[in-house]
C-alpha cells in the first residue's frame, strides 16, 4: 500500500459515520497494518498514522478523534477474514424526506415569491422610519413583505406575537404544500400523536415584554394584556402551530442563536429517524426589528450603517461589507419518513440526508477565527449523511456580511474541501433577505431545497467585488445551473456564542 493510493481515495470504504471502539471501516490487501488518514481523500492534508497489527484489536475510539471524519484502511493476512461492509444504522435507519415548504420573508408572503425574488436578485432591505427609530445610528432592516396580523381575525392576532404569526402562516403553507388538510392531522389522515413540531427562535416574543413595560409606565398595570406571559415565551410558536394543526406528538423549541432554525430541522430529522414520529413541521421564525434590538446590534458594531444605501447594505463575501442587516420572517418545512410519505402519495422534494452540530467554545459573540468549530459541524453533517466532501455540489453559506464571520466560514470551507472548494458554487441569501436571525435557517433551507428541485443556484445579492483571498466560487449577478456531479447540497447556520449547525440535503 502506498501513501499515494491512500491520498488518492482508492481505499475500499466499508462504513461511513461515527467510529466506535473496535470498528474496521475499510480494507487494503497489501499488508497487516491499520493505517489511518485523518481527513477525507478530497482534502490536501496528508497526516497519516500507522498502528499495530489488527490482531492486537486497536481501540479506535482512543486513537481517533471522534469529531473528525476518518478514512481508514486495513487488512489481514487471510483475505477471507476481512470484515463485511457495515454502516452504523445508515442503511437500517428511517429515511427522511422533505414534502412541504412554507415561508414569509422580505421578498414575499409565500414560497413562490421568495424563490422568484432570490432568482431575480431582488433585495428586501429598506430604511425603517417613524418616531421610534429616529436618532438611531442604524435605520436599516429587511421587513417582511406582508403584515401578518392582517391575515388573522383580530381576536386571534391579539393572542400571538409577531414571530408566532409568521410561524403559523409559514406552517400552514408548508402543510398545504405537503398535500395535507389545513383542518389538521385527523382530517389529513395522520395520527396526531405521531406528528411533531420543531421550531427555532432566538428571543420569541421578547418585543412584547418591551411593549408591556411601556404600557405599564404610561397607563398602569390594569392596561397590561393578560396574554403577555404566554406570548413572550420562546415556545409560543411551536405551541401555536401544535394547536392550529392538532399536532400532539413532540412540540419542540430550539434556542441556539442564529443556528436555531437549522438545529430545529436537524432535531426533526433525528425524531423521525428514531421512530418517535412520522412527520414533523420544522423550521425557524423571528421578528426583532425594534429600536432596542437595532440599537443593541449597532453598539456591538455587527450591523451595516449604510443608511443612505439600503439596497447595497447587505454584502456577503464582498470586499466592502460592513455588517449584516436585521431581517424578519419564517421558514417552515414538512419533514416525513419516506415510506410514510410514499404511502399517502406525497410529492417529495429531496432527502433530508443529515445534519451536524458543534460549538466553538471561544467567545460570546465572535467566531473562532480559524473556523475549527464550523469545520467540525460540516464534517458531522457529511458523516451523518453518509457522504464525503467529494459528494457536495453546492453550499448555501451562512455569510452574514460581517468581516470576520465571512472570513471564518471561508477558512473552514477551504480547509475541509482543499483546492476543490473552487469547484463548488457557493451562494448567500442574506444579501437579498437580510439576516432573519432564528428564522434564517428555515428560509435558507427552503432555498437550498428549491435549488435541488429546479437545478438553479440563486445569485448572492451585494457581492459585486468578492474579497480577495477568500478562495470561494461565489455565484453572482445571475442564477447558475447546479453542477450535475455530486448529490449533496449543504445549508450552513452559525450563531453568537459559537453555535454551529449544518444541514445536508440529497437529490433524489
Which residue in the list 258, 350, 394, 463 is annotated as catalytic?
258
Tell me which residue of 407, 386, 408 sits closest to 500, measured CA to CA: 408
DSSP symbol at 94: P
Annotation marks residue 258 as catalytic? yes
User: Of 340, 394, 435, 499, which one is the catalytic site residue?
Assistant: 435
d(CA 348, CA 481): 21
User: Which stretches within 178-259 are classed as H helix?
Assistant: 206-219, 228-232, 236-245
Angle made by CA atoms 17, 275, 281, in degrees to the nearest 5: 95
pLDDT tens track of the chain, all 508 residues? 333 333 333 333 333 444 333 333 333 334 333 333 333 333 333 233 333 333 333 333 333 333 233 333 333 333 333 333 333 444 468 999 999 999 999 999 999 999 999 999 999 999 998 888 988 999 999 999 999 999 999 999 999 999 999 999 999 999 999 999 999 999 999 999 999 999 999 988 778 888 888 888 889 988 888 888 888 889 999 999 999 999 999 999 999 999 999 999 999 999 999 999 999 999 999 999 999 999 999 999 999 999 999 999 999 999 999 999 999 999 999 999 999 999 999 999 999 999 999 999 999 988 898 999 999 999 999 999 999 999 999 999 999 999 999 999 999 999 999 999 999 999 999 999 999 999 999 999 999 999 999 999 999 999 999 999 999 999 999 999 999 999 999 999 999 899 999 999 999 9
The answer to whether residue 485 is catalytic is no
* Structure confidence by residue, pLDDT tens digits, 319-337: 999 999 999 999 999 999 9
Give the pLDDT confidence score for residue 92 in this predicted structure.
63
Could you tell me which of 453, 382, 454, 449 has the C-alpha nearest to residue 413?
Answer: 382
Residues 11, 350, 394, 398: which is the catalytic one? 398
Contact of 257 with 493, CB cutoff 8 Å: no
Task: Find out whether 28 and 75 touch, Cβ atoms under 8 Å.
Answer: yes
How many residues comprise the chain? Answer: 508
Helical H segments across 302-429, by residue range: 338-343, 372-384, 403-417
Cβ distance 224 to 216 under 8 Å? yes
Place of cell 420569541: 204
Supply 260's cell numbers: 436555531
Catalytic (active site) residue 435: yes
Element holding 499 (H helix, E strand): strand 499-506
Q: What is the pLDDT of residue 217?
A: 87
Mean pLDDT of the chain: 84
CB-CB contact of 283 with 237 (8 Å): no
DSSP letter at 195 equals E
Where does 289-403 show beta strands of DSSP type E? 329-337, 350-359, 392-396
Instruction: Give the separation between CA 342 and CA 508, rounded to whole angstroms.
Output: 13
Q: Within 13 Å and on the Cβ side, how many CA atoms surround 232? A: 13
- Sign, CA dihedral 140-146-148-153, equals positive
Amino acid at each position: 500500500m502506498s501513501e499515494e493510493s491512500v491520498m488518492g481515495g482508492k481505499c475500499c470504504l466499508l462504513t461511513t459515520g461515527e467510529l466506535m471502539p473496535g470498528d474496521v471501516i475499510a480494507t487494503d490487501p497489501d499488508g497487516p497494518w491499520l493505517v489511518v488518514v485523518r481527513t477525507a481523500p478530497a482534502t490536501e492534508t496528508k497526516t497519516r498514522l500507522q498502528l499495530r497489527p489488527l490482531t492486537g484489536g486497536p481501540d479506535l475510539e482512543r486513537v481517533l478523534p471522534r469529531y473528525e471524519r476518518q478514512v481508514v484502511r486495513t487488512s489481514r493476512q487471510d483475505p477471507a477474514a476481512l470484515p463485511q461492509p457495515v454502516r452504523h444504522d445508515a442503511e437500517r435507519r428511517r429515511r427522511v424526506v422533505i414534502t412541504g415548504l412554507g415561508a414569509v420573508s422580505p421578498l414575499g408572503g409565500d414560497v413562490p415569491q421568495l424563490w422568484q425574488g432570490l432568482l431575480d436578485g431582488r433585495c428586501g432591505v429598506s430604511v425603517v422610519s417613524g418616531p421610534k427609530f429616529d436618532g438611531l445610528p442604524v435605520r436599516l432592516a429587511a421587513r417582511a413583505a406582508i403584515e401578518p396580523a392582517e391575515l388573522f381575525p383580530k381576536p386571534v392576532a391579539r393572542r400571538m406575537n409577531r414571530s408566532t404569526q409568521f410561524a403559523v402562516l409559514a406552517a400552514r403553507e408548508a402543510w398545504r404544500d405537503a398535500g395535507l388538510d389545513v383542518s389538521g392531522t385527523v382530517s389529513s389522515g395522520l395520527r396526531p400523536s405521531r406528528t411533531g413540531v420543531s421550531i427555532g427562535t432566538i428571543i420569541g416574543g421578547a418585543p412584547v415584554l418591551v411593549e408591556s413595560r411601556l404600557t405599564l409606565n404610561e397607563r398602569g398595570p390594569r392596561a397590561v394584556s393578560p396574554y403577555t406571559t404566554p406570548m413572550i415565551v420562546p415556545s409560543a410558536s411551536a405551541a401555536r402551530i401544535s394547536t392550529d394543526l392538532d399536532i400532539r406528538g413532540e412540540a419542540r423549541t430550539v434556542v441556539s442563536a442564529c443556528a436555531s432554525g437549522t438545529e430545529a430541522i436537524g432535531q426533526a430529522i433525528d425524531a423521525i429517524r428514531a421512530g418517535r414520529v412520522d412527520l414533523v413541521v420544522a423550521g425557524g421564525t423571528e421578528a426583532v426589528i425594534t429600536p432596542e434590538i437595532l440599537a443593541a446590534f449597532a453598539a456591538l458594531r455587527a450591523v451595516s450603517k449604510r443608511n443612505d444605501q439600503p439596497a447595497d447594505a447587505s454584502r456577503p463575501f464582498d470586499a466592502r461589507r460592513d455588517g449584516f442587516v436585521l431581517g424578519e420572517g419564517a421558514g417552515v418545512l414538512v419533514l416525513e419518513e419516506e415510506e410514510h410519505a410514499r404511502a399517502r402519495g406525497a410529492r417529495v422534494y429531496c432527502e433530508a440526508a443529515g445534519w451536524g452540530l458543534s460549538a466553538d467554545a471561544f467567545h460570546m459573540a465572535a467566531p473562532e477565527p480559524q473556523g475549527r468549530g464550523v469545520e467540525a459541524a460540516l464534517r458531522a453533517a457529511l458523516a451523518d449523511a453518509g457522504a464525503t466532501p467529494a459528494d457536495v455540489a453546492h453550499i448555501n453559506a451562512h455569510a452574514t456580511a460581517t468581516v470576520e464571520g465571512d472570513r471564518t466560514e471561508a477558512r473552514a470551507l477551504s480547509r475541509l474541501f482543499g483546492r476543490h472548494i473552487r469547484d463548488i458554487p457557493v451562494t448567500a441569501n442574506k444579501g437579498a433577505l437580510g439576516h432573519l436571525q432564528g428564522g434564517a435557517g428555515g428560509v435558507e433551507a427552503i432555498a437550498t431545497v428549491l435549488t435541488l428541485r429546479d437545478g438553479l443556484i440563486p445569485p448572492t445579492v451585494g457581492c459585486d467585488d468578492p474579497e480577495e483571498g477568500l478562495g470561494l466560487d461565489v455565484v453572482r449577478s445571475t442564477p447558475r445551473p447546479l453542477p450535475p456531479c455530486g448529490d449533496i447540497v449543504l445549508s450552513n447556520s452559525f450563531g453568537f456564542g459559537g453555535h454551529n449547525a449544518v444541514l445536508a440535503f440529497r437529490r433524489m
